[in-house]
């Protein structure tokens, strides 16, 4: 087992990352920073639209942040054009160098017909270990967790877009166990789930960020913090 420091950037989608936030994150010296699904977007256009200029700009933000803090940045996701297709893509950078990208394989209903699903899961390596990315609805399919186990991923980052759902606290916790603790058990890995908070841009979100291993939820945002913008800093064993 080894200890790593992770940051969960639980903030509104599409905002500029302030110098104050960059300074706070840098002082923690994280191994990894993970952003929510659809964090790196242009808030002036529709969810599933993109321009080439904005795509370049958003990737530069991720690259710059990883270089400034000297860390691995799991770049949430952004709409990504490749040819005439649009994907929901997570770019991963390590100290200014792109390690690769993962295109969401299992789409949410609102993405169908607009976004093209990716065709394969991916593994990345840093700090002498493997890690993976599963985006939002990917966690409803065991094949992703099985792939991570087969490729010896120690951590799975899960950028997530979490619409508000009316349910009791007990129902929330039961669902977390059923999806994330079970998934971590299948993968034999730790799952780090990061959500965006609601804002004028997306006022129907709930930020249910959490960290789980195969036995329990190690950390979760309290129910009264699901609307709270937070930089969550945690040390975990993987």
**Residue boundaries of the structural domains of the chain:** 3-237
Quote the CA–CA distance of 140 and 15 in Å, as a whole number.
Answer: 28
pTM of the predicted model, to two decimals? 0.96
Which DSSP string do the residues of 76-105 spell out, in sequence order? --EEEEETTEEEEEEEEEETTEEEEEEE-S
- The tally of CA atoms less than 13 A away on the side-chain side of residue 162 is 24
Per-residue pLDDT of the chain (238 residues; tens, 9 = 90+): 899 999 999 999 999 999 999 999 999 999 999 999 999 999 988 777 888 899 999 999 999 999 999 999 999 999 999 988 999 999 999 999 999 999 999 999 889 889 999 999 999 999 999 999 999 999 999 999 999 999 999 999 999 999 888 899 999 999 999 999 999 999 999 999 999 999 998 988 999 999 999 999 999 999 999 999 999 999 999 9
Question: Domain 3-237 maps to which CATH number in 3.30.70.20, 3.60.110.10, 3.10.310.10, 3.30.70.640?
Answer: 3.60.110.10
């Amino acid at each position: 087992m080894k200890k790593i420091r992770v940051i969960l950037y639980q903030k509104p989608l599409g905002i500029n990352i302030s110098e104050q936030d960059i300074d706070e994150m840098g002082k923690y010296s994280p191994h990894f920073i993970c952003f929510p699904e659809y964090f790196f977007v242009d808030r002036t256009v529709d969810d599933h639209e993109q321009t080439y200029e904005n795509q370049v700009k958003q990737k530069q933000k991720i690259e710059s942040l990883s270089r400034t803090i000297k860390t691995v940045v799991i770049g949430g996701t952004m709409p990504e054009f490749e040819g005439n297709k649009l994907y929901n893509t997570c770019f991963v950078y390590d100290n200014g160098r792109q390690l690769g990208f993962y295109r969401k394989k299992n789409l949410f209903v609102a993405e169908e017909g607009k976004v093209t699903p990716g065709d394969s899961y991916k593994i990345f390596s840093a700090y002498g270990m493997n890690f993976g990315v599963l985006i939002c609805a990917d966690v409803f399919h065991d094949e992703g967790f099985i792939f991570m186990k087969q490729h010896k991923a120690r951590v799975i980052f899960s950028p997530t877009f979490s619409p508000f759902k009316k349910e009791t606290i007990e129902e929330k916790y039961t669902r977390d166990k059923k999806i994330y603790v079970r998934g971590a058990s299948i993968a034999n890995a730790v799952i780090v789930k990061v959500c965006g908070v609601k804002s004028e841009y997306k006022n129907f979100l709930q930020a249910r960020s959490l960290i789980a291993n195969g036995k329990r939820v190690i950390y979760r945002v309290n129910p009264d913090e699901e609307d709270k913008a937070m930089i969550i800093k945690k040390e975990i064993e993987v």
